[in-house]
């Protein structure tokens, strides 16, 4: 129909305007796609922070090895923006494949079907997508497993001294935060030596993490362990410990047993300074490597098998620090 054609082109125009207005779109030109020779990968991230920087670097490294180009965009936590950015990548820039970290696992569905319709491989990394019907390949961490791995560190430490644990919780709208919390709690259920005395929501906000930790330490001065579900809340927790006069290196009787997840520079530094007991590192290099190799497979016309991969984190603790740290992204960067 004529009308629907007009509407569709209007929508495309609007979408491309939005994408132009969006900040963070990398200016890297992809004239290569039109030449039809080099493969260009369109990347759409939900946001940019330390771990995303590492994931970006991992993708770029893997792409370079494979001889692919990368166009990079960031959606600033806005699902609408992300969907128009992906539309722009596929329709205007004509990328050969997309790698997406979805802001919203539900709302990304339209982008997935668009990629399917245009025969563009759609790779989801880090954050899971609700409907995986048309996703070419998905590789995510396993938040629940990371929670269990953290719990294992607590259990083994509690054998020498019973632990009273403060558990910080990330944003309650974030699947990763929920998964880490549930895995952690499930694994510790029934452990007589570990008691979770307080659960404090942080909404992934450093200020709330700081205040919540201070308050919990105030209420329960006998807290001797804290579970921090992401490295980027670690400075807040350390500040709270400092002002409560509880920040001390491992071995000091005042020391509070600390375990975090992610494995970024902060975490690694704290490991080296012996104030952090363990960090469950996300295998970001694996994300990049497997995502790019899946693209190679898919562009070769073959199905990627297995289609979904959940990689559990790598436990970096003081005992295994020397051996494991070279594989942790925060330690090598």
Partner 1 sequence: MRSARQWSVLALRRQPLLPVWVVLLLTLAGLYSGFGTTANLRNIAIQASPLIIAAVGATFVIMTAGIDLSVGSILFLAAAIESSQALISAPAGAVFLAIAAAGLLMGLLNGVAVAMTRVPALIVTLASMQVFRGAGGHITGQQNIDLPAHLRGIGTGSLLGVPAPVLLAALTAIGAGMLFSRTVFGRYTQAVGSNRAAALNAGLPVRSVTAGAYAFAGLLAAVASLTQTARLGAVQPSIGDGFELTVITAVVLGGTSLFGGRGSITGTVLGALVLTTAQTGLVFSGASPYVFDIVRGGVLLTAVIAAGTRWRNLAQTLRLPGRSSSGGGRTISSA
What are the residues binding partner 1 (CB under 8 A)?
Answer: 23, 47-50, 52-53, 169, 172, 198-201, 203-207, 210-212, 214-216, 218-221, 232, 235-236, 238-239, 242-243, 264-266
Structure tokens belonging to residue 19: 């994408």
Shortest Cβ 227–partner 1 spacing (Å): 14
Shortest Cβ 139–partner 1 spacing (Å): 22
**220 vs 310, which CB is nearer to partner 1?**
220
Shortest Cβ 130–partner 1 spacing (Å): 21
**68 vs 232, which CB is nearer to partner 1?**
232
Residue whose structure tokens are 């491992």 = 250
Torsion of CA 100, 105, 106, 111, to 10 degrees: 0
**141 vs 229, which CB is nearer to partner 1?**
229
Q: What is the DSSP letter of 306?
A: S
Q: What is the CA radius of gyration of the chain?
A: 22
| Cα torsion 290, 138, 68, 19: sign | negative
Q: What is the DSSP string of 124-166?
A: EEES--S--TT-SEEEEE-HHHHHHHHHHHHHHHHTTS-EEEE
Shortest Cβ 203–partner 1 spacing (Å): 8
**Helices marked H in 227-313 — which ranges?**
234-243, 265-272, 284-299
Shortest Cβ 6–partner 1 spacing (Å): 30
**262 vs 304, which CB is nearer to partner 1?**
262
Q: Is the Cβ–Cβ distance between 46 and 77 less than 8 Å? A: yes
**203 vs 297, which CB is nearer to partner 1?**
203
Structure tokens belonging to residue 2: 């004529």
């Amino acid at each position: 129909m004529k009308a629907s054609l007009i509407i569709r082109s209007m929508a495309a125009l609007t979408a491309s305007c939005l994408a132009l207005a969006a900040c963070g779109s990398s200016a890297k030109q992809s004239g290569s796609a039109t030449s039809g020779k080099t493969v260009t990968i369109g990347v759409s991230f939900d946001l940019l922070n330390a771990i995303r920087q590492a994931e970006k670097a991992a993708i770029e490294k893997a792409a370079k090895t494979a001889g692919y180009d990368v166009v990079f965009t960031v959606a600033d936590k806005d699902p609408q923006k992300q969907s128009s950015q992906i539309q722009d990548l596929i329709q205007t820039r004509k990328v050969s494949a997309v790698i997406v970290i979805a802001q919203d696992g539900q709302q990304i569905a339209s982008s997935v079907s668009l990629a399917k319709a245009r025969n563009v491989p759609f790779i989801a990394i880090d954050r899971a997508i609700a409907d995986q019907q048309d996703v070419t390949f998905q590789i995510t961490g396993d938040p629940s497993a990371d929670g269990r791995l953290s719990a294992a560190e607590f259990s083994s430490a509690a054998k020498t001294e019973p632990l009273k644990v403060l558990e910080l919780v990330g944003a309650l709208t974030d699947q990763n935060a929920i998964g880490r919390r549930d895995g952690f709690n499930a694994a510790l259920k029934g452990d007589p030596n570990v008691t979770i005395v307080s659960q404090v929501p942080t909404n992934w906000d450093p200020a709330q993490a700081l205040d919540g930790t201070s308050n919990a330490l105030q209420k329960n001065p006998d807290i001797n362990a804290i579970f921090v579900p992401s490295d980027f809340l670690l400075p807040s927790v350390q500040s709270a410990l400092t002002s409560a006069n509880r920040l001390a290196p491992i071995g000091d009787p005042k020391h509070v047993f600390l375990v975090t997840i992610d494995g970024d520079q902060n975490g690694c530094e704290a490991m080296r300074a012996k104030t952090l007991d363990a960090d469950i590192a996300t295998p970001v290099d694996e994300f990049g490597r497997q995502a790019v190799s899946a693209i190679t497979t898919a562009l070769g016309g073959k199905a990627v098998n297995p289609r979904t991969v959940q990689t559990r984190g790598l436990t970096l603790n003081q005992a295994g620090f020397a051996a494991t740290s070279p594989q942790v992204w925060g330690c090598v960067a």
